[in-house]
Amino acid sequence: MKKTILFVVVLLLCNVAMAQMKVTGKVTSSEDGSPIPFANIQIKGVRNIGATTDLDGKFTFESISKDAILVVTYIGFTTQEVPVQGRSEVNIALVSDALNLEEVMVVAYGTVKKGTFTGAASLVKADAIKDVPSLSFENALNGKVAGMQITTTSGQAGSTSSIRIRGIGSMNASNEPLYVIDGVPVVSGDSGQMGDYIYTSNNVMSSLNPNDIESITVLKDAAASALYGSRAANGVIVVTTKKGKEGKPVISFKASVGVSPTWATSNFDAASTEQQVEMYYENFWNAGVYYQNMTQEAASISALKQLSKRFNKHGYTFSASDNTVKTLTIGGDRAGKYYNWDDQLFRTAVYQTYDMSVSGASERSNYYSSLSYTKEQGRVKINDFDRISGRVNLNQKISNSIEFATNINIAKSEKSGYNDTRSTGANYFLQSRNLLWGLYWPTDYLTGDPWTARYGSYAYNPVYYNNEWENWSKMLKISANETLTVKLLPELVLKSVFSYDNTNTMDHIYYSALHFNGSSTSGSVTEMTTNETKLVSSTTLNYNKVFAEKHTLGVLIGWEAEDNRTYFHRSSGTNLPTSALHTVSTAGKLDAAGYNWGSTMMSALSRIEYNYVNKYYFSASFRRDGSSRLGETTRWGNFWSVAGSWKIDSEKFMDNIDYISNLRLRASYGVNGTLPSSLNGWRSLTSYNNNYMQTPGGGVSTIADANLSWETSYTSNIALEFGLFDQRLTGSIEYFNRDSKDLLQDVPISLVTGFGTTLKNIGEINNKGIEIELNGDIIRNKTLTWSAGLTASTVKSTVEKLYGGQDIIWYDPTGGDARAKYIYREGESTLALYGLEWAGVEDETGKNLWYLNNDETPDLTVKGRAATYDYSKASETIIGNIHPKLFGGIHTDVKWNNFTAGLNFTYKIGGYTYDGAGKDVTDDGYYWERIMSKDQYENRWTPENKTASLPMRAAIDMEDVNQKSSRHMHKADFLRLKTINVGYNLPKNLTSKINVSNVRVYFNGSNLWTMAAYDVYDPEVNEYGTRGWETPICKTYTFGVEFTF
Amino acid sequence: MKKINILFTILGIVLLSSCEGFLDVKPTNSADASTSITTAADAKVIISGLMSKMVSSNYYGRNFFLYGDAKGGDFAIRSQGRGMDALYVFNHSASSNSFSGYWSQMYHCILQINNLLENIDKIEAAGKGSAALSDYKGQALTARALIYFDLVRLYGKPYNMDNASLGVPLILETLDASAQPTRATVAQVYEQIVTDLTAAAPLMGKTKVLGFLNYYANQAILARVYLNMGNNAAALTAAQAVITSGKYTLYSNANWVSSWSAENGSESIFELGVYLSEADLGTASLGFYLLRSGIQKGAMGWFMASDEFLARLNQDPSDVRWGIMDYDETYTDTGVKRYGSCRKYSGANLTGDKGSMSAVNIKVIRLSEMYLIAAEAAFPTNKQLAADYLKEIRKRSPNLAAPTATNITMQMIKDEKSKELFAEGQRYFDRIRWNESITFNDDFISPAVIITHRDKTIDRTFYKTILPIPKTEIDANPALASQQNPGYAQ
């Protein structure tokens, strides 16, 4: 299409030239010097003469004017005009048009030129994500799209990320965006049911090889996303996979190896063993002297007795000759030797990936196929993930008007050995930081046998127990999209897509009879199979026509049906006969469950797009969805949008302003929705989980609102896009306002009805913010380009309305440890931390102080405010807001001859994070049997350190540390060098000798540098802004090589 | 190409025409509540579910018995803070320790019953009634009566104290989510209980079925209800109906102790089943709450007998009922074995009634109680009859003199009931019915603490004799705000 338009333009400027000569030349890419075949070359102003480059990028004109101007065009590159100026050989290097307004972007049900799109969308191309060592593409998007926050709770290999586009719009339903791959909505999130047993997730998106991705478009406003109707309120992520390019088959092979020797930051690093012993002694000594009126001698005896009781059996003795910590000495047979548990539990993790792809195209067919193998190790020794995936994308023109396309992806992955929960002995990160003393050894000091009992801190010996349990999840995912495109008329195209997507996940979890989780049942094993099928059929008719050369009209109508069904089966066995067989079949006692669930949706959709002289654009969309998640009376809903844009720089009055190369204003308004998470929230159910006397028992289990409906978002968006100095500086500034209404809430009802809550559409949330994207070429010439860009976003996310105006207290659902407390209150943030307000530590006594925030009689005043020593007298209040003031990314790239280099930063300014682990490792003496952090050692109150930030430790059951309070709240600001890339393309004369068209070697460093306002733990926290005992992320150094044949 | 067009047209038509069917996706592990009861077999499943819900930890599974025991003076706690001690120290307010689980679980059960009754009516109206269905209807009505009887005693004043005061909301049909019902009077609730029991009796089978209600369970409940209403004649008649039925026999002295190690005892009139991986509460079971601290992993020593009870049982050191008592944790301090730990719910040999220490059936009503009710009901008018009934139970203290028409006293009946039904959830309700003052064994708490939530001795004029309506209920149902029990902050 683009070529045709240019062709027409060239023809219209028809002119006759004189002085003929023969001209030959070669067209190459400025990026890597590789030849560009099939580039189109026209002579400016001359009709009927043109050439196409051959496979080596060469062209010949037998006879043209020596003053001719060659116009070279090729998709994906900026069109260039080159005067011949009498030369017989003209070599042309085309520059890739990364910033080109003509760039084609995949959006809802079609493609659009970036410069003409009326909605808010961001495009991320393969280049931006290709070298990042990540199983799944989401992490590579970090900081690249304004308004989008990506968080990873866990550094476990294969775990799920969370994405928030433009804030939080729901309390009860999902806040995750819709994912669309090659035009078809797909399943996302966690796969399998292992989460019911241990704290983990298995990211279904990791079945998509990031190397197969051509581009990712993030649809942000209603104009961009409303065509996805009732699922689009949280934005849409549109992924497009690769296609072949016309020309010789391109064979590419890529291999990379990454190593992760350390965590990305310090994470609750433990104090040394000597320091731990010192704090332990001090804990009891303080309790004796300060709280129990003991003499120093008595307190010292009591403290030493505690140490001896715990550690004599491990080969250590303790003494303190002057009855204070100053003379505390560790003796005994193992004196001076401490066990290094970190070495035992963690490793330098290795990441390897191998990708091979073959692609090509002819006039009638187009293919891309790939095979990939990836193996990722977690830093936790037992955690592994591997994946093998293959893809075939085929396009075949049957005739001039009919085209078939097939995209098939198959991926198999296996994840093993994981657990992030706070509550079991199986979380090695927690154990290393909080439970495993250097004084504990994996073997018994006296007998040399493995230590099998619980250690005093409630840790279990992982060296022994690692062999007594296992878990894994195996996922096999097959997806096939068939697309038929029929050109019914030149202006009318019918497209029908049928997609089949099946994800089969098998989960296995085993504890031997010797394991502490299996001992009461003589061993246990559970096998689960979850099979999720998604069928999507969508058919669209697309009409596009230019009338009177001024009016461009596009009309789309279509319908879509979707069927989702998941079959689940679980069988469990306990009382296992032998530790050699880890299967349910051998078990003495069996238990099973099996059922299936699903949802369906039907939709009709339409869109109209119109522009007048490519200056004034207008579009509108309408979709009607019917969903099985809602009752008959309410299941159909209408979603729509209107949008317009005005290309100001095309106006006459802008003609004289040379430095503005693009100026466009666009605005949109629309309505889209979110369906309830619950499949049957509208239906009162009788459930059968009340077995009685070994017979089935049932009862009404929910009281439902038959009129339950989806949540509705009303989004307006206004943006200014600009390009300056011939597009050397481009950018956009965008304002959005999203009012989410009819939000689902579990509304409290009279218990006399038989139930405590019912799901109703009640709440309202508002999100508004500003997003800025800026990109600039600082230096742009033939050998050197240096560009830089930034994204910056603000989101203000506010609860507007709640049922009866009543506050709702809720807890961070991650980790199952209710680590942070929040409140939904009208007029407050959607992530408002709720708890006691800590007033710090009293210098003289080392005691905790709390602001009262009520009318109780204060014990004292702190900074002029009423305060108390006793937390139970203080009242809870809103203590902070998780949402940052500003977040985004900064990137800069340099290309110099064959070298490329890039830096990608992400940052967050303002807001707080909540520390869910601090109560364990900076404890006041309550968990006295555990080890403490370096932070605790350095900052605790002692008579020598009276201005300490943490209180005195004393083993007297003080619960202060366990309060949800501002004590555990820390500033969230950080700047992180997310990735650094260096690449080098070997010179052609070298590579051609070995018949390789291109060889690239590269290095990628991930998370290598971090600067944080609070540096005790990794500042990249989860979507609720909390950090707990999840495995942290690592520094990864990746080296790769890529061959193209 | 034409073919393809036709294909798509057909596809489109098929898709659109099958629309509503396509969008109707039913769950497979649950059923639509509106269509889940259409046969007698369906009704049986709901009755089973109801019994299972009644044996939840919030009701007969643990907390309801603990309520009747912890507050009655026969039990004491050794230490504060172990769990459920709020019951003992009367630490209740509408917002904290309101024990709203009673309220929510009992009304949840009533919903199941009302829903079942409405569906049975529909089936019968369609002419598909059967004897089995009538039986289920009888069981449902009887269960509803029992639940209201329990509710009104938790939240309303004793019938013989002030039956015009507020009882509980009387719900006899399924409610809409928006319903905000208010409380009926104690008298109205009792009237409905009697109505339900009377309506149910002729529908119910007379065979003994373990785990379910039958005609005699209906009569036994009726006896309890009439006794509370002060209608001694009717209470006596109902109790006698059970006693003379021949379906149940008293445990002999020889097998009294072992009866706690078997299910479906010869005295069991209504016994709720607790089976492994059904309603088994494990270390949180009623049995564990009464075990000696540390005797088993998870046994915390929550509740033990008070000195007052032990002295009463010691009226006869050979009382067979000592056989179910074990020594308690005070032994570690004193070296003297004090037999304050009760094994009625863990089995005399800690193997329960079917091999598990925690999956032990709850004997809600048993025959001994009927004898004691009969004795109490007969006492004012027929001392000989009262003595005859009491004698059968009192002989479990072989060294105590048998009661006669001349020596029998009300205190003897009361003491016997305390000894026999110890830990069976009755004591507190009896004592506030008798308008006795209750003195607690607080000196037993070690180290001593000051109990601020009640005096050492209380009687039924103390406002915390009954529970507050939970704050969550009042928040969701403001119509009840003005009906909070007196003394509790509104």
CB A354 within 8 A of CB A376: no
Give residue B280's pLDDT band: very low, low, confident or very high (50, 70, 90).
confident
Cα A688 from Cα B32, distance rounded (Å): 12
Q: Nearest 10 degrees: CA dihedral of A840, A844, A846, A848?
A: -40
β-pairing, B75-77 vs A1034-1044, is unpaired
Long-range CB pairs of A310-319, under 8 A, 24+ apart, other chains included: A310/A456, A310/A929, A311/A437, A311/A439, A311/A456, A313/A445, A314/A439, A314/A440, A314/A441, A314/A445, A315/A441, A315/A445, A316/A439, A318/A277, A318/A281
CB B304 within 8 A of CB B75: yes
Q: How far is C-alpha A727 from the chain's CA centre?
A: 31
CA distance A600 to chain B (A): 6
Instruction: Give the pLDDT confidence of A120-152 residue by residue, as tens digits.
Output: 888 888 877 777 777 788 878 888 888 888 887
The mean pLDDT value for B400-416 works out to 96
Indicate yes or no: CB of B107 within 8 angstroms of CB of A751: yes
Of A769, A886, A734, A797, residue with least CA distance to A169? A797
Cα A690 from Cα B108, distance rounded (Å): 13
Residue of A498, A566, A691, A751 to mutate when probing chain B, most B C-beta within 10 A: A751
Quick check: is A36 in a domain?
yes
CA distance A557 to chain B (A): 13
Q: How crowded is the C-beta side of B466, counted as CA atoms within 13 Å?
A: 26
- Residue A976, pLDDT score: 94
The mean pLDDT value for A934-953 works out to 93
Domain shared by B103 and B186, yes or no:
yes
- Residue A842, pLDDT score: 94
Instruction: Give the pLDDT confidence of A979-995 residue by residue, as tens digits.
Output: 999 999 888 888 778 88
Q: Write the CA distances from A553 to A172, A556, A607, B253, integer angstroms.
A: 41, 10, 11, 98
- Residue B18, pLDDT score: 57
Quick check: is A48 in a domain?
yes
Q: Name every residue whose Cβ is closer than 8 Å to that of residue A7 and which is 6 or more positions away in sequence.
A: A40, A42
- Name the residue among A632, A686, A692 with its Cβ closest to that of B51: A692
- Residue A115, pLDDT score: 78
Cα A1019 from Cα A1001, distance rounded (Å): 32
Domain shared by B160 and B214, yes or no:
no
Instruction: Give the pLDDT confidence of A247-288 residue by residue, as tens digits.
Output: 788 899 999 999 999 999 999 999 999 999 999 999 999 988
Indicate the number of domains in chain B: 2
Of chain B, the end-to-end C-alpha distance in Å amounts to 77
Q: Nearest 10 degrees: CA dihedral of B83, B86, B89, B92?
A: 170
> To the nearest whole percent, how much of chain B has pLDDT over 70?
95
Quick check: is B158 in a domain?
yes
The mean pLDDT value for B402-423 works out to 96
- For the record, the structure tokens of A829 come out as 């943030």
Instruction: Give the pLDDT confidence of A200-252 residue by residue, as tens digits.
Output: 777 888 888 888 898 889 998 888 888 898 888 888 999 999 888 877 888 99
CA distance A538 to chain B (A): 10
**Beta-carbon count within 10 A of A521 CB:** 17
Give residue A15's pLDDT band: very low, low, confident or very high (50, 70, 90).
very low
Q: Which residues of A739-760 are buried (b: 16+ CB within 10 A; e: fewer)?
A: bbbbbbbbbbbbbbbbbbbbbb
Quick check: is B18 in a domain?
no
Query: Which of A232-246, A327-341, B398-412 is least confident?
Result: A232-246
- Name the residue among B33, B104, B171 with its Cβ closest to that of A700: B33
A845 burial level (CB within 10 Å; 0-12, 13-18, 19+): middle
Instruction: Give the pLDDT confidence of A25-35 residue by residue, as tens digits.
Output: 888 876 666 77
- Residue A341, pLDDT score: 92
Question: Tokens 């230096």, residue?
Answer: A779
- Residue A422, pLDDT score: 56
- pLDDT at residue B1 tops 70: no
Indicate yes or no: CB of B23 within 8 angstroms of CB of A626: yes
- Residue B19, pLDDT score: 61
CATH number for A55:
2.60.40.1120
Domain shared by B224 and B179, yes or no:
no
Cα A912 from Cα A883, distance rounded (Å): 7
The Cα diameter of chain A in Å comes to 112
Instruction: Give the pLDDT confidence of A67-104 residue by residue, as tens digits.
Output: 888 888 776 677 778 888 888 888 888 776 544 556 77
Domain range holding B119?
Answer: 99-204+460-490
- Residue A102, pLDDT score: 63
CATH number for B189:
1.25.40.390
Cα A225 from Cα A220, distance rounded (Å): 7
- Residue A9, pLDDT score: 40
Cα B487 from Cα B490, distance rounded (Å): 9
Q: Which residues of A610-648 are buried (b: 16+ CB within 10 A; e: fewer)?
A: bbeeeeebebbbbbbbbbbbbbeebbbbebbbbbbbbbb
Quick check: is B1 in a domain?
no
CA distance B137 to chain A (A): 15
Long-range CB pairs of A9-16, under 8 A, 24+ apart, other chains included: A10/A42, A10/A43, A10/A44, A10/A45, A10/A46, A10/A71, A11/A47, A13/A44, A13/A45, A14/A45, A14/A46, A14/A47, A15/A44, A15/A45, A15/A46, A16/A46
For residue B278, what is the nearest residue in chain A, using CA coordinates? A691
- Residue A19, pLDDT score: 62
Give residue B399's pLDDT band: very low, low, confident or very high (50, 70, 90).
very high
Of A797, A740, A743, residue with least CA distance to A768? A797
B4 interfaces chain A, CB cutoff of 8 Å: yes
Quick check: is A130 in a domain?
no
Cα B270 from Cα B369, distance rounded (Å): 12
Give residue B10's pLDDT band: very low, low, confident or very high (50, 70, 90).
low
B278 interfaces chain A, CB cutoff of 8 Å: yes
Indicate the number of domains in chain A: 1
Question: Which of A855-869, A898-912, B424-438 reaches the highest mean pLDDT?
Answer: B424-438
SS3 B419: helix
- pLDDT at residue A164 tops 80: yes
- Name the residue among A596, A700, A748 with its Cβ closest to that of B112: A700
Cα A150 from Cα A237, distance rounded (Å): 12
For residue B55, what is the nearest residue in chain A, using CA coordinates? A692
Which helix or strand (DSSP H or E) is residue A279 part of? helix A273-286
Residue of B45, B147, B276 to mutate when probing chain A, most A C-beta within 10 A: B45
Quick check: is A12 in a domain?
yes
Indicate yes or no: CB of B175 within 8 angstroms of CB of A753: yes
Which helix or strand (DSSP H or E) is residue B150 part of? helix B131-155
- pLDDT at residue A10 tops 80: no
- Residue A652, pLDDT score: 84
- For the record, the structure tokens of A593 come out as 């469950």
Q: Write the CA distances from A231 to A145, A183, A221, A639, integer angstroms.
A: 21, 15, 13, 10
Domain shared by B198 and B111, yes or no:
yes
Give residue A6's pLDDT band: very low, low, confident or very high (50, 70, 90).
very low
Quick check: is B396 in a domain?
yes
Residues facing A1022 on adjacent strands: none
Quick check: is B43 in a domain?
no
- Residue A407, pLDDT score: 93
**Beta-carbon count within 10 A of B242 CB:** 25
Question: Tokens 């060469």, residue?
Answer: A58
Give residue A24's pLDDT band: very low, low, confident or very high (50, 70, 90).
confident
Query: Average pLDDT, whole number, for chain B?
Result: 92
B81 interfaces chain A, CB cutoff of 8 Å: no
Q: Write the CA distances from B182 to A312, A554, B103, B465, B471, integer angstroms.
A: 65, 62, 14, 21, 15
CB A699 within 8 A of CB A130: no
Instruction: Give the pLDDT confidence of A864-887 residue by residue, as tens digits.
Output: 999 999 888 888 999 999 999 999
B333 interfaces chain A, CB cutoff of 8 Å: no
Of A988, A989, A930, residue with least CA distance to A961? A930
Domain shared by B105 and B239, yes or no:
no
Quick check: is A25 in a domain?
yes
- Name the residue among B12, B49, B171 with its Cβ closest to that of A699: B49
Cα A859 from Cα A868, distance rounded (Å): 5
B447 interfaces chain A, CB cutoff of 8 Å: no
Q: Which chain B residues in 361-420 lie under 8 Å from chain A, judged by CB atoms?
A: none
Quick check: is B298 in a domain?
no
Quick check: is A313 in a domain?
no
Give residue A613's pLDDT band: very low, low, confident or very high (50, 70, 90).
confident
For residue A758, what is the nearest residue in chain B, using CA coordinates? B177
- Name the residue among B53, B55, B180 with its Cβ closest to that of A750: B180
CATH number for B228:
1.25.40
CA distance B472 to chain A (A): 8
Query: Which of A569-583, A952-966, B3-17, B190-204 is least confident?
Result: B3-17
CA distance A957 to chain B (A): 13
Residues facing B473 on adjacent strands: none
Instruction: Give the pLDDT confidence of A504-534 residue by residue, as tens digits.
Output: 999 999 999 888 877 777 889 999 999 999 9
> To the nearest whole percent, how much of chain A has pLDDT over 90?
47
Which helix or strand (DSSP H or E) is residue A609 part of? strand A589-612
- Residue A97, pLDDT score: 57
Q: Name every residue whose Cβ is closer than 8 Å to that of residue B52 and which is 6 or more positions away in sequence.
A: A690, A691, A692, A697, B278, B279
Peptide bond into A490 cis (omega under 30): no
pTM for this prediction: 0.83
- Residue B386, pLDDT score: 97
Quick check: is B161 in a domain?
yes
Cα B193 from Cα B204, distance rounded (Å): 16
Cα A137 from Cα A143, distance rounded (Å): 13
Please report the sign of the dihedral spanned by the C-alpha atoms of residue B185, residue B189, residue B194, residue B199.
positive
- For the record, the structure tokens of A909 come out as 């300014």
The amino acid at A944: E
The mean pLDDT value for A716-741 works out to 91
- Residue B199, pLDDT score: 97
Query: Average pLDDT, whole number, for chain A?
Result: 87
Domain shared by B143 and B175, yes or no:
yes
- pLDDT at residue B218 tops 60: yes
CA distance A929 to chain B (A): 21
Position with higher pLDDT, B307 vs B490: B307
Indicate yes or no: CB of A685 within 8 angstroms of CB of B31: yes
Q: Name every residue whose Cβ is closer than 8 Å to that of residue A84 and which is 6 or more positions away in sequence.
A: A21, A23, A64, A65, A66, A67, A68, A69, A70, A90
- Name the residue among A539, A685, A695 with its Cβ closest to that of B27: A685
Domain shared by B110 and B158, yes or no:
yes
Instruction: Give the pLDDT confidence of A54-63 residue by residue, as tens digits.
Output: 878 888 888 8
Contacts with B48 from chain A: Cβ below 8 Å: 690-693, 695-698
Domain shared by B219 and B140, yes or no:
no
Domain shared by B246 and B106, yes or no:
no
Contacts with A755 from chain B: Cβ below 8 Å: 108, 111, 177
- Residue A141, pLDDT score: 83
Cα B226 from Cα B221, distance rounded (Å): 9
